[in-house]
């Protein structure tokens, strides 16, 4: 394949939550100021992934296309999309090397996200599923349904990690078992275990919420192991630090983020494997290089900690960077970036969640509906939002998608 060598005005690396929002806002604003500048968006996939819903796709609560939107249909001329892998960024020469060739830029936005962290635990990578990518979620769904269709009477499913993702995955699977599996597979038994290294699930949340979540999961027959650290994973069992062996047919790994900035940038330009940026989201040494989302290390000036690795933060950072680039093109200044979370919503299966918004806490269907509504805002395009809202409504009152595609080519 012939390698490209070209130049673009604004280069966005990664079209996930942060990168796509930077593109959307930039394209709109460039049009408004009648600027001829061209944006090039690069991603290794030709679709935008909405990661926070992948565990729902894995359990058939939503269809996969609700979490994956083709990028070529939303990145429109004169701007362009390139499906290729980013390999290296040289902020001194202002070039990015990809497996398709080299691209020179005036402004670059790094939005390459993060990956699963297996903490070098033996067997974890080989013998667990994850819900961090669409293909990961689809692999989990395919193998789980295929196991349901096999003659085995019991499936032991173990979820590692009792923070947000682990609790959400446990909530979805326990609801799946209680509704569809008990009705459609009455002779099957699914035993769900949730392993948490801390003494509580969701340790960062208030005691009242932690208690509510743990009680709700236990009532749905999720067996919770607290103060338990996984030391080894095999195809038959997980071994805990205290030597206990937990029999398990399928494991889902939900714990930890692996930060990846040092895979692309020289080590001297990274901090904690992330991209250290100023309160204007520009790299501390290179003002034309921005970073947003999980890969960015942004200090919260209120408490000197870092802004969280959340879709909500990535979305707002993407928007801010777009505004900052437009201001820079127009030789204007804008105020510094500040992130304030709208709230925390923890889904616990379909039609159930806990939402903490300002001083208010909501439980059950209202909280679940609030979450779905908030998520709709992340999706590109009004028509698509309406279609997805109708699909969700119809889907949430019928059975999940339980399709066994094991024998397909
Ligand atoms: C199961 C789960 C549930 C979550 N729930 C919530 C929630 O409820 N609320 C919330 O706010 N956050 C949630 N999060 C966190 C949220 O998904 C992330 O913080 C958010 O996606 C980060 O956005 P980003 O733009 O940095 O990265 P991403 O959205 O991950 O996008 C990164 C993009 O970069 C691309 N890419 C990566 N490497 C390369 C490369 N080398 N070359 C080319 N392209 C590349 C990827 O294909 C991807 O499109 C959840 C995460 C998970 C895993």
Residue 233 CA to ligand 1 center (angstroms) comes to 26
User: Which ligand 1 atom sits nearest the alpha carbon of residue 296?
Assistant: 26
Q: Give yes or no for a contact between 322 and 334, defined as CB atoms under 8 angstroms apart.
A: no
Residue 66 CA to ligand 1 center (angstroms) comes to 15
Q: Give yes or no for a contact between 329 and 35, defined as CB atoms under 8 angstroms apart.
A: yes
Interatomic CA distance for residues 261 and 295, integer angstroms: 6
Q: Return all residues near 34 (Cβ < 8 A) that are at least 6 apart.
A: none
Nearest Cα residue to atom 16 of ligand 1: 311
Q: Which helix (H) or strand (E) holds 29?
A: helix 17-32
pLDDT at 93: 96
Q: Which CATH class is domain 4-44+84-114+259-329?
A: alpha beta
Mapped onto helix, strand or coil, the DSSP state of residue 363 is strand
Nearest Cα residue to atom 11 of ligand 1: 311
Helix segments in 123-278, DSSP class H: 124-127, 134-149, 164-176, 182-184, 207-219
Domain 118-256: CATH architecture, name and number where available = 3-Layer(bba) Sandwich (3.50)
pLDDT at 133: 95
pLDDT at 123: 98
Q: What is the pTM of this model?
A: 0.93
Best mutation site among 13, 22, 23, 43 for ligand 1 pocket (most ligand atoms within 8 Å of CB): 43
How confident is the chain (409 residues) per 10-residue block, as mean pLDDT?
A: 84 97 97 97 96 91 86 95 97 96 97 96 97 95 92 91 96 93 92 97 95 96 97 97 96 94 96 97 97 97 92 96 98 96 90 92 93 85 85 77 69
pLDDT at 1: 62
User: Which ligand 1 atom sits nearest the alpha carbon of residue 55?
Assistant: 1
CATH 3.50.50.60 region(s) of the chain? 4-44+84-114+259-329, 118-256
């Amino acid at each position: 394949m012939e390698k490209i060598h070209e130049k673009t005005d604004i280069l966005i690396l990664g079209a996930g939550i942060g990168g796509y929002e930077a593109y959307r806002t930039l394209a709109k604003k460039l049009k408004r100021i009648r600027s001829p500048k061209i944006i090039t968006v690069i991603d290794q996939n030709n679709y935008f992934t909405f990661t926070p819903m992948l565990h729902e796709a894995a359990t058939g609560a939503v269809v996969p296309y609700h979490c994956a939107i083709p990028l070529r249909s939303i990145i429109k001329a004169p701007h362009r999309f390139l499906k290729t892998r980013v390999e290296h960024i040289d902020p001194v020469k202002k070039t990015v090397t990809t497996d398709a060739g080299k691209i020179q830029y005036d402004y670059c936005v790094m939005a390459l996200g993060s990956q699963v962290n297996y903490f070098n635990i033996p067997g974890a990578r080989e013998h667990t599923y994850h819900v961090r990518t669409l293909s990961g979620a689809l692999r989990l769904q395919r193998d789980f349904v295929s196991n349901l269709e096999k003659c085995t009477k019991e499936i032991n499913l173990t979820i590692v990690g009792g923070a947000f993702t682990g609790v959400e995955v446990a909530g979805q699977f326990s609801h799946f078992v209680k509704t569809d599996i008990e009705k459609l597979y009455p002779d099957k038994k699914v035993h769900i275990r949730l392993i948490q290294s801390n003494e509580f699930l969701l340790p960062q949340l208030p005691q009242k919420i932690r208690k509510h979540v743990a009680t709700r999961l236990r009532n749905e027959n999720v067996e919770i192991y607290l103060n338990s650290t996984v030391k080894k994973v095999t195809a038959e069992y997980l071994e805990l630090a205290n030597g206990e062996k937990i029999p398990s047919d399928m494991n889902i790994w939900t714990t930890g983020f692996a930060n990846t900035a040092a895979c692309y940038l020289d080590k001297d330009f990274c901090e904690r494997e992330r991209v250290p940026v100023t309160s204007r989201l520009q790299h501390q040494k290179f003002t034309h290089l921005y970073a947003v989302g999980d890969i960015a290390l942004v200090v919260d000036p209120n408490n000197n900690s870092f802004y969280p690795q959340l879709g909500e933060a990535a979305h707002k950072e993407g928007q801010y960077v777009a505004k900052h680039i437009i201001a820079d093109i127009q030789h204007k200044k804008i105020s510094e970036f500040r992130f304030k979370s709208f709230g925390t919503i923890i889904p616990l299966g379909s039609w159930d969640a806990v939402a903490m918004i300002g001083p208010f806490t909501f439980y059950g269907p209202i909280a679940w509906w609030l979450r779905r509504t908030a998520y709709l805002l992340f999706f590109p395009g009004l028509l698509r939002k309406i279609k997805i809202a109708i699909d969700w409504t119809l889907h949430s009152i019928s059975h999940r998608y339980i399709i066994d595609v094991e024998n397909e080519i």
